[in-house]
A and B are shown apart, each in its own frame.
Chain A
Amino acid sequence: MKKWKDILLVMVTMVLLAAASSAAETPLILDLRPDDNNPSAPVMGDHLRFWSTIMNTGADPIEGLVAWISLVEIDPGNEQPVDLEDWSAHKVVTGAALEPGQSLRTDWPMRLIKGGDYRVVVSVTDRGSHKVFTSPTIQFNVRQKPVLQAGRVLPAAAGVPLLIIGLMVFNKTRQRRKKVQV
């Protein structure tokens, strides 16, 4: 009798372990790739596009899916998360549901606002799992572009006042000539 009890205990333990192992497996695959048309050496002002694919590999539907993109600056001494407000109008996908085997492909466009080294990642969570899944990261460098060009600013900054001074001198000379004529 004791032998049967031991066998039963071992079987129950194995079933529980299998269930726990299954729950620990990732129920989705999350992939992130750059668009083929992205510039190879992007400069400030360029547009980049990334594609994420979320696939439900589990046996249950995923409800209330939330996927969002994050950008982190990794310049030495300036490591920080980037507020994407000015970089992209498309920062999140909410409320999607994925049946088992179904996938969701999303594009993430962004405009490069500031030069530096960056890493981009897409994260996903859902209503029930209490977990956050992250995609592989993609690293890229944005080359700094001179925003203000001295070649433009200096002529304007010096030329306009000089032009007005010239106009003042011209006016004064003309007034003097008129007085002399009178």
Chain B
Amino acid sequence: MKTHWTIAYKESAQMLRSQRGLLWVLAFSGLLSAFSLLLVSNTELSLLDNAQVVYMMSGTVLASGALLAAILGSDAYAGEKERGTLVPLLCAPVSVNALLTGKALGMLTAWGVMFAVATPYLWAVGASGQNLGAALFYLALFGTPVVLGFGYLAMAVSARTGSVLASLLSTVTLLMLAASPLLIGPGLRGTAIGRALDAVNPFAGALNTLDSVIIDSEPFSAQFARLLLVVVWLGLCLLAARRSAAHPNFQ
């Protein structure tokens, strides 16, 4: 088995077999359960409200995935250093790229688990509405680069600072800023500053795409610019992670 697969298997097992990883999945499913139960009692929802619910739930899944990636990424190098396992790991015949790829595959597995957990909820609230299939497709297409990008960014900061706390604080703060479109209304986002932030914010790009395809039923051709934005985001974060991972902080 190739080295990066071995590392990916170990990282994935932490998510699927450890009580800590399963506890996160349980908390995530509890969040989605509470969200969907709150909606059941409302009998006067329009079809549009239904699409709005699917959109909001997709946004919540995306934010939770990015948060998990930030936590796992922050632990990737600094956590190994704090546990005293980074030096033996780097002394082992493991290339920098293999280590990075293995950890990224582990994050991808965690995101896959979250996506799988979220699917029955999205089906439950969205099956009688519109664009459920599109919601799942675009959540996977846009969510994966956004989530992986936050993971790579957290790994870059983690390797550079050598501190889980510093990495976690900086990445989660950036994530909160990026995820602010989930909280602020369309009025504020319609201002010049709001539009400028949306144009460079990959999280907002993914959210706007979900809004566009779930609520407005717009086609794939309308999403190219946003797809480019999230792919560029992923590329930049990968570059930053590779550079930092090549010279991790041992101090």
Q: Which residues of A approach B to under 8 Å, CB–CB?
A: 44-45, 86, 111-115, 144-150, 152-161, 164-165, 167-168, 171-172
Contact = CB atoms under 8 A, between A and B. Distances in A.
Q: Is the interface of B mostly helix, strand, loop or mixed?
A: helix
22 contacts: A44-B47, A86-B48, A112-B47, A113-B47, A114-B46, A114-B47, A147-B46, A147-B50, A148-B40, A148-B50, A153-B36, A153-B37, A156-B121, A157-B121, A160-B120, A164-B29, A164-B117, A165-B26, A167-B22, A171-B19, A171-B22, A172-B19
Given A114-B47, A171-B17, A158 B33 contact: yes
A167 B53 CA distance: 29
Contacts, number: 93
Contacts of A171: 17-19, 22
Contact of A148 (B23, B25, B45): B45
A147 B45 contact: yes
B39 A156 contact: no
Contacts of B124: 152-153, 155-157
Contacts of B37: 153-154, 157
Q: Is the interface of A mostly helix, strand, loop or mixed?
A: helix
Interface residues of B, number: 35
Contact of A152 (B26, B117, B127): B127
B36 A168 contact: no
B213 to A, nearest CB: 14
Given A44-B46, A153-B40, A160-B120, A147 B26 contact: no
